[in-house]
Amino acid sequence: MAKLSSGPTFPISISRHTYHHRVTACHVATPTTTTTIPFADLHPSLEVIGGARNRFLPALHSTLRHSYDPFPFIAWNPHVETIFASFFRSIPDVRLRRECLRTQDGGAVALDWVAGDQYQLPPDSPILILMPGLTGGSENSYPRHMLTKARSKGWRVVVFNSRGCGNSPVTTPQFYSASFVGDMREVVEHVSGIYPEANLYAAAWSLGANILVRYLGDESHACPLSGAVSLCNPFNLVYAFEEFTKGFNRVYDKALARSIRNIFKRHILLFEDIEGEYNIPLALNARQVRDFDEGLTRVSFGFKSLDEYYYKASCFHSIKHVQVPLLCIQAANDPISPARAIPREEIEANRNCLLIVTPKGGHLGWVAGAEAPLGGPWTDPVVMDFLEHLERGTHKTVESSNGPLTATSKNLHHAEV
């Protein structure tokens, strides 16, 4: 569930295209400890809950003790804020290097790295994998701003463009879905194989966040990531698609359906002789996202009905299985990822999870903070404070440990088999 249109873009420099096969690795993540801060210091404009409050609030205290102040005239309405951020937020000019990763099923995804970082950054620099929302890619403003923020702090960043998104190649008659974590798993293993000395983290938005949290739950204790951030997560796709049928939300539904149709049309020859329950004409002429999911997505991934797909693909089931630090940031007035879908009880019960809900923000908006209205969203510095806190904690734990795990932070998180 990404932005309404691709908007203005800057050229992406593609220096090489390579295909890689899956790298197998096993990783162990160790939690860090923190001190407790008084909850009274948190500003009442923000809802902050979760089983990991005591562990992670110290890292975010400087931000969360202040009120959330949305930019005047833009944030008064969630639709205005959502549309403004989609069409008018600046897009940082970043030179990217594309790598095409061949997946085990013959498909392909595109990884966009910051050009030159392979020479300029040390091999143990922390890595942040970014996953945009539905139809989104590295050309969009929100991953670009997050990328530049992380890169300015010495992080290595890569944008994971799902099949068909961000002009990534489609080589098989299968796109991606909210339920499919296979590509995410292969991307993480591939990146870990390139930089085995680095700690890996991930941040994702909207449908990408749903996929990320499902991946965290599936991997559970074996997850190779050292931490993750979920933003604008729909959590419960049944609720999300119910909202899509209401009022102004139909505009988003039609816009996203148009974007999906355009991607599908570019690769229609792959689906010409496909057999089974597929309804290619319905997908090709989809007026709603539900039409495309009924005609193609739910059949591709083995679901008997659309209701079954939306329910089983929802990531709220996965929260209880997450075993790495996870920060979730939501907006209470998000028109696409409704507040009623937030799994508050599950987040409260999981000692690895922290939830921040802002009073406003729309969907992928958060036009607030020092860079508003045209710069990066309010969430970017919060995300980096959280991730840098985790990264500092891994090094401190290594330095204070005894025995064989004393050399580098790699040993704490990466035990290769």
How far is residue 401 from each of residues 392, 393, 398, measured CA to CA in Å?
Answer: 14, 12, 5
Catalytic residue among 334, 389, 409, 414: 334
- Residue 251 burial (10 A CB sphere; 0-12, 13-18, 19+): middle
User: Degrees (nearest 5) of the Cα angle 234, 322, 387?
Assistant: 80
Q: CB of 185 within 8 A of CB of 131?
A: no
Among residues 27, 145, 190, 363, which one is catalytic?
363
Contact 358, 330 (CB under 8 A): yes
CA gap 337, 237 in Å, rounded: 9
3-state SS assignment for residue 47: strand
- Report residue 3 CA to chain centroid gap: 14
CA distance 126 to 305: 41
Q: List, as own/partner pairs, every contact residues 304-309 make where C-beta atoms lie below 8 angstroms and the sequence separation is at least 24, other chains included.
A: 307/238, 309/177, 309/178, 309/179
Amino acid making up residue 73: F
State yes or no: is 363 an active-site residue: yes
Q: Which of 206, 259, 318, 337 is catalytic?
A: 206
The dihedrals phi and psi of 227, each to the nearest 5 degrees, come to 175, 165
Whole-number CA gyration radius for the chain? 20
Catalytic residues: 206, 334, 363
